[in-house]
Amino acid sequence: MAGTVRSRLSLTTVLVLMAVAVAGCSKNPVTREREFVPFSTGQEIETGRKYYRPTQQAQGGQYKADPALNEYVKRVGRKVAKVSDRRLPYEFVVLNNGTANAWALPGGKIAINRGLLLEMENEAELAAVLAHEVVHAAARHGAQAMTRNLIFQVAQAGVALAAGQSQYSRYTNYILGASGVGLQLIGRRYGRDAEREADVHGMRYMKAAGYDTRAAVTLQEKFLALSKGRKPNWLKGLFATHPPSAERVKNNRAALARFPAGGKVGREPYDKALASLRAKQPAYEAADRARGEMAKAPESALGRVDKAIAQEPREALFHGLKGQIQARRSQFTKAVAAYDAAIERDGAYYEHFLGRGLAYDALGRRVEARRDLERSMQLLPTALASHALGHIVLAEGDRARAKTLFGNAANVRGEIGEAARRSLVMLDIADAPDRYVKTQPFLRSGQVLVELTNQTSIPLTDVAIHVEARSGGRTLPRRLSPTRLAARGKAVLASGIWYRGTDRINVDVRVLRARPAAAKTGNARPYRAYP
């Protein structure tokens, strides 16, 4: 835990130093209005570069089953970015996520989910979404959010950027350290001014790129209608950060006077680009249902995912989901085979390596487990991998690294965090017993007594303490060893050191040794807690 606190404080310190170094007013590149943003362009670009990959990983990874669709979206994005007010290293990716959402990190790093692509009808609507996100990057809206976060941190020293939960990712509770920063940046709800700027100037970019600006109006009308229907997919996606409103529709209609309708609509090229994804959508829906029922009805879930694989065998997500279901059923050899198929199709997504590493671990194949878990940590550090790796390196005799790994995993909520905290305590007790056993000497009926308190929820045994009493120039040492301390339990020990009522006596107590009564650390297999 101490290591995590240090990393949070150092991140805050860096941000404060950045603010001091470049603080001042500058012009918004899009609106030309003066504003305070204590981050240089280089710092924005570095922020986006640093968190772009981990944030993609936490949102499902890149969509790779249809490379042509990815290239199509990139072409449209580059067309819009080319006419922006700010030259940034813009990037565009399609994420393998069925939630209808799109987001931009500082520095022009933009993503759109396959779920949102399915909701649009033509290329101009796609351009409207991407232009909106380009404006967020060009107008420094993400940097403004970082500024607000910086000011909050200065007032609340030690608060981590990644604190709290993102409503988008089912992996959030398991992500470790700074990798969660990207989730917080994309999870922030933009203010009305930022959304208005992104809408209006997005239409300007559309016009300059040759697209029909009416698509920005029809898209907002569609979003408003869907928000009234409270479609869950939208409530936890685009609507959470880009809330639609009648005001936004009205503003977009008014903006048509400045950026008249006309230009490319692009229904045919959009239909062609989306044809494969639309045709395979039933497979994704089957996989979603399988994920929802795998805990209570694994047989049914397995049948659904097999149907999904039959419909779209190129989709790594389906093979990974099959491995997850089989691991939950303790069919670890089959799980490894399913994850092999997933990694063959997508060898750059952390969850496939995490799942296979956990399955190897359950099979006792420690070398393969360690390799896969470390690869998953490189792609996206998670408590699941950190906890499992901790037990592997502990078995290899590396107690120091095991404690670090357990300490990292101990900071998350839920079953994995609790198991990691227990593992850390059980390992650390042997190294620092005084952290866990509280001692309180006192005098009664002419004898020195010591009260011991087990401050953990783990029974302790082989406890040894050293008592030293000094009185009248004499030093009286004793070594005491109670046999057991119950979880959160107390014991009073008689030291055998006697005194007279007139004696002035000083007593020191040190805890020499303690170990958990359980033979093993808390190595709870994480499949039941797997998201």
Q: What is the mean pLDDT of residues 365-379?
A: 97
What pLDDT does residue 155 have? 30
Residue 226 confidence (pLDDT) above 70: yes
Q: What is the mean pLDDT of residues 353-375?
A: 96
Q: Which residue has the tokens 């009286």?
A: 476
AA identity, residue 291:
R
Domains along the sequence of the chain with CATH: 2-265 (no CATH), 278-430 (1.25.40.10), 433-516 (2.60.40.10)
The per-residue pLDDT for range 414-438, each reduced to its tens digit, is 888 888 998 999 899 988 999 999 9
**Rounded to an integer, what distance in angstroms lies between the CA atom of residue 424 and that of residue 414?**
15
Residue 124 confidence (pLDDT) above 50: yes
* Among 22-26, 73-77, 235-239, 245-249, the range of highest mean pLDDT: 73-77
What pLDDT does residue 312 have? 96
Q: What is the pTM of this model?
A: 0.82
What pLDDT does residue 240 have? 55
3 state SS of 94: strand
3 state SS of 25: strand
Provide the mean pLDDT of the chain: 84
**Rounded to an integer, what distance in angstroms lies between the CA atom of residue 261 and that of residue 502?**
100
What pLDDT does residue 248 have? 83
Look at 281 and 231; give whichever has higher pLDDT.
Answer: 281
**Rounded to an integer, what distance in angstroms lies between the CA atom of residue 409 and that of residue 175?**
9
What pLDDT does residue 20 have? 45
- 457 burial type by CB count under 10 A (0-12 exposed, 13-18 middle, 19+ buried): exposed
DSSP letters, 376-439, are HHHHS-BHHHHHHHHHHHHHTT-HHHHHHHHHHHTTS-HHHHHHHHHHHHHHHHHH-GGGTEEE
Rg (C-alpha) for the chain, rounded Å, is: 29
pLDDT band at 2 (very low <50, low <70, confident <90, very high): very low
Q: What is the mean pLDDT of residues 184-192?
A: 70
The per-residue pLDDT for range 392-415, each reduced to its tens digit, is 999 999 999 999 999 999 988 888
**Span of 37-46, 291-300, 458-467, 474-483 with lowest mean pLDDT:** 37-46
What pLDDT does residue 244 have? 61
Cα dist from 97 to 112, 175, 222, 288, whole Å: 9, 18, 21, 11
What pLDDT does residue 145 have? 60
Q: What is the mean pLDDT of residues 306-325?
A: 97
Tokens of 465: 């303490």
Q: What is the mean pLDDT of residues 452-465?
A: 93
Residue 523 confidence (pLDDT) above 50: no
| 3-state SS record for 95-142 | ECCCCCCEEEECCCEEEEEHHHHCCCCCHHHHHHHHHHHHHHHHCCHH
Q: What is the mean pLDDT of residues 431-452?
A: 94
What pLDDT does residue 169 have? 44
Look at 80 and 526; give whichever has higher pLDDT.
Answer: 80
Residue 7 confidence (pLDDT) above 50: no
